[in-house]
Structure 1
């Protein structure tokens, strides 16, 4: 089913409902080497996206957490869609009645969502016992024949459609589209099969609307106690008893007929088990296969997740503390990012004294070079920039006083990775290969972070190569951040009249974690070595003690 009112670019995402044998994991959508969109796998790991998800995640359903993780792993580039998500977030913040109603709705659906997964992915092992989980290693294994799971699992979809009709109607377009998607599901064939009754005809299923009125068909009921088969089984037992009673009476041993009746009693449970096994294998399992491959049901589960995601944004903003804002989303052919008093979304969550910094990646300063001593906050600043871009790009609040951004087509983050060298290629070639990959895939709407360049070669070659690479990124138009200790490189770039320059601020007591304009010409390596117990004096003391 294609809902004409739905944001089609979003529905093109892979649904969180698995069509396989097991339910999808929350983090299954993480980028892979050969399957990514805005973020590649190396960038995803380098920017600590998993930690960012843990910080933002306040979703309570499996679908909600899966949708949120998918948003971070595969962010949208459609500015109109993100603006609509922001409009919905603002409506939830300002309309407490709607927010509380939706929160209650998601709370209620949480248990039903679990029941749906039990139906779709459970193994029903049989037996007369009441359906329940066997526990142990496989929590999706149940005794019984799936009747209980069928009732509860289909009840989730029915409840979601019926409950939605009683919710306050939203004003924002994004929420209205989600509500409409639920109503559209209520008009689908899959919903009719879930609601019942289901009629079985030659191995195929028909809904009430599809069944011809004049044609008698077998009607599926999720219970092993079916009147007609049980009636015929009891009638057969009665006929057999009558026959044997008469036969035995002719030989003068009528009492044996009652013994035969006692022996025949266990036949009834066998009949019930056969009925239930047939229902499981010919109705429940085939029906759930239809459900798992249904785009309509997949969209319904996505809607639950998308509603939970919006509520998670609201809870994240309230729980984080300090200034939070929804950045203004602009459309442009060139990426920009302007943020006032930006804090790191991961580190500032547990540090109320986190030092904020401004971010300015505009047309004039699209090449930003960051210098300064070790442990001065350079890397944390770069990760803050990328993580805030990512949060803004999924329609979420950012920890800042104000923000403006253009959605990035690609985000790249290069960090030294000597532990994963390509065979036959040293550190210089390995890192240059990554820089080449980033450069040839970047566009003016890309955000690129380079943590040092051209390591593993001579100083002269490093200078020449870094200079033409950075000049290339500048001409390309991508927003580019470089972290470096090389103030000579900064001087060369300044001579070309390109770049904006920030340095880590240090006081007598140590780093302030503020970035201020300028180029640093010190590294404070001696301070770091002393803190680690590996200063010149430490080395000399160790040698003296050995001699």
Structure 2
């Protein structure tokens, strides 16, 4: 479970929030995980779960993730699977990234700051989500059924976890003053956490008053309240115990010598000393249940602490984008930030686009142009299998996604409008519903996409109306595509149906690309036009299943019937 409330801040003339739902800090008894952020059928934003799988978002995350902290990794993952459709926030995020790139002093200071936090951030996690079983040991956590279990009563985790927060805030005050509003917001959020009541509780001391906690500022100077000390050894009880033992021994030494009972004092000492550790353990259990657990519940439920930790993660996310660009620039792959436009219709124009997942392993990956604008918002791609149509479509979706989280993309120039929805429909025979068949199942998915699309949506359709007759396929595909065209969404169709393309083209609808082929095979470059040539025989020959291969097999097996 993750916190679902969020606070807004304004940085420009328009009311803009850079804070994201949900916060990474979990208010439950378990830390947040990627499973909590992953889109599901009843809880997603720009990417629905089918699109998430189809465009290989998990692999894309692994490709760009170079964060140093766990909270940074979670923030980056949240950005990728729940991207913002807000152009102005993205523009601010890009400005922050450009400042990091152009200001070595700022960059090195942030890198040092984040790396030092990465070494200790687990201490806060242990405090907030650990289970303390008692005893005198404080071993490393045992992962059992997803829980963090420790010996001891949480004193060590309390000291280390609160020290991490205090150090994070104090160290942030030495960072250089940024110029970009996005960076200012992040750094000031961490710095100003020390102005909150929760920070005063974390920094301490904490005073106990009728099952409530008071900070030093809230406690009256003349009101004697017990102070919580995060250690199992308590000076006051120890002193009382020592004084009591000494008094007993003194009584028997001075008041009863004539009875010859001075040895009784030593006997009482021998019997009482073993009781003292038991008293300390009982006090430790009391501190854990009445102080540490209730305090950390307040910490987990604090929006101020959630925003502060998110700010750290979002700084780490920006640095991860910087490292991602460096890792590919060293391979002579040009990386750029697209121009983000605030328009009412989706747009994506990219020069020399390369696939983000394939370019790292193959720097010579063939680049292509992307033109999804008002004129060409319906783009139909034709050509035989294995020519690169699917890779081209995934490149478009992945570049849109990377640009929409403020990250670099492999291209020479680009413009984009953030999409409100990104949909990618692929055949999914493993999910057929009973009595519906492939045609009904895929048509239901197309219907779902259509009724949820807007003029600021990006839709990729891998074939339409499969599993029915050619005539019905032509009729259904035509009115569906015309519907998307009138809706105004950027729509891509991958098809072998050149008759459909010719019919739409005759009405002046759509832009058409085909896979370029030479004698040796496909070049993986998209060129203008409609492919009317089938390469099925070439593909069948390449995999050893042509007519000649079948005839040869039958002849050799002796089962051929003339």
- SS of corresponding position for 2:336: coil
Aligned counterparts of 1:346 and 1:531: Cα–Cα separation in 2? 26
Is the 1:450–1:483 contact (alpha carbons within 8 Å) kept by the matching residues of 2?
A: yes
Aligned counterparts of 2:19 and 2:175: Cα–Cα separation in 1? 23
In the TM superposition, residue 254 of structure 1 has moved relative to its aligned partner by 3.5
1:102-137: CA deviation from partner (whole Å, max 9, x where unpaired): 0000001112311100000111121123x2315464
1:187-235: CA deviation from partner (whole Å, max 9, x where unpaired): 1111000011100001100011111222111111111222211111222
2:353 maps to: 342
Aligned counterparts of 1:19 and 1:113: Cα–Cα separation in 2? 17
Aligned counterparts of 2:550 and 2:310: Cα–Cα separation in 1? 60
In the TM superposition, residue 139 of structure 1 has moved relative to its aligned partner by 7.2
Write out aligned runs for 1:208-219 (5 A).
208-219=216-227
In the TM superposition, residue 361 of structure 1 has moved relative to its aligned partner by 0.5
The one of 190, 195, 200 aligned to 1:182: 190
Residue 128 (str. 1) matches residue 139 (str. 2): no
The one of 108, 120, 125 aligned to 1:117: 125
Is the 1:61–1:110 contact (alpha carbons within 8 Å) kept by the matching residues of 2?
A: yes
In the TM superposition, residue 543 of structure 1 has moved relative to its aligned partner by 2.2
1:520 maps to: 531
2:314 maps to: 306
Q: Bigger CA drift: 334-343 or 537-546?
A: 537-546
1:303-350: CA deviation from partner (whole Å, max 9, x where unpaired): 011000000011001102311000001111111100000001111121
TM-score by length of 2: 0.94
1:411 maps to: 422
Write out aligned runs for 1:164-243 (5 A).
164-243=172-251
1:488 maps to: 499
Is the 1:181–1:300 contact (alpha carbons within 8 Å) kept by the matching residues of 2?
A: yes
1:447 maps to: 458
1:343-374: CA deviation from partner (whole Å, max 9, x where unpaired): 01111121111111010011111110001111
Residue 400 (str. 1) matches residue 407 (str. 2): no
In the TM superposition, residue 278 of structure 1 has moved relative to its aligned partner by 1.4
The one of 362, 369, 372 aligned to 2:373: 362
1:15-72: CA deviation from partner (whole Å, max 9, x where unpaired): 0111111111135311110001111111111111111111111111111111111111
Is the 2:252–2:261 contact (alpha carbons within 8 Å) kept by the matching residues of 1?
A: no
Aligned counterparts of 1:182 and 1:361: Cα–Cα separation in 2? 40
The one of 354, 374, 380 aligned to 2:391: 380
Aligned counterparts of 1:265 and 1:480: Cα–Cα separation in 2? 81
1:443-500: CA deviation from partner (whole Å, max 9, x where unpaired): 1111100000000000111011111111111111111000001111111111111111
**What are the ranges of 5 or more consecutive residues in structure 1 without an aligned counterpart?**
none
2:49 maps to: 41
- SS of corresponding position for 1:341: strand
Structure 1 140/8 Cα, relative in aligned 2: closer, same or farther at 3 Å? Answer: farther
In the TM superposition, residue 273 of structure 1 has moved relative to its aligned partner by 1.4
Residue 318 (str. 1) matches residue 326 (str. 2): yes
The one of 289, 294, 317 aligned to 1:286: 294
Aligned counterparts of 2:342 and 2:537: Cα–Cα separation in 1? 47
Aligned counterparts of 2:29 and 2:544: Cα–Cα separation in 1? 55
**What are the ranges of 5 or more consecutive residues in structure 2 without an aligned counterpart?**
1-5
Residue 371 (str. 1) matches residue 382 (str. 2): yes
Structure 1 236/466 Cα, relative in aligned 2: closer, same or farther at 3 Å? Answer: same
In the TM superposition, residue 540 of structure 1 has moved relative to its aligned partner by 2.1
Q: Bigger CA drift: 210-219 or 81-90?
A: 210-219
Aligned counterparts of 2:141 and 2:79: Cα–Cα separation in 1? 35
1:150 maps to: 158
- SS of corresponding position for 1:437: helix
Is the 2:30–2:147 contact (alpha carbons within 8 Å) kept by the matching residues of 1?
A: no
Is the 1:3–1:184 contact (alpha carbons within 8 Å) kept by the matching residues of 2?
A: no
- SS of corresponding position for 2:119: helix
Is the 1:26–1:62 contact (alpha carbons within 8 Å) kept by the matching residues of 2?
A: no
- SS of corresponding position for 1:370: strand
1:505 maps to: 516
Aligned counterparts of 1:426 and 1:248: Cα–Cα separation in 2? 100
1:273 maps to: 281
In the TM superposition, residue 526 of structure 1 has moved relative to its aligned partner by 2.0
Is the 2:350–2:411 contact (alpha carbons within 8 Å) kept by the matching residues of 1?
A: yes
2:272 maps to: 264
Aligned counterparts of 1:542 and 1:246: Cα–Cα separation in 2? 114
Q: Bigger CA drift: 522-531 or 378-387?
A: 522-531
In the TM superposition, residue 528 of structure 1 has moved relative to its aligned partner by 2.2
1:429 maps to: 440
Aligned counterparts of 2:37 and 2:435: Cα–Cα separation in 1? 32
Is the 1:325–1:397 contact (alpha carbons within 8 Å) kept by the matching residues of 2?
A: yes
1:163 maps to: 171
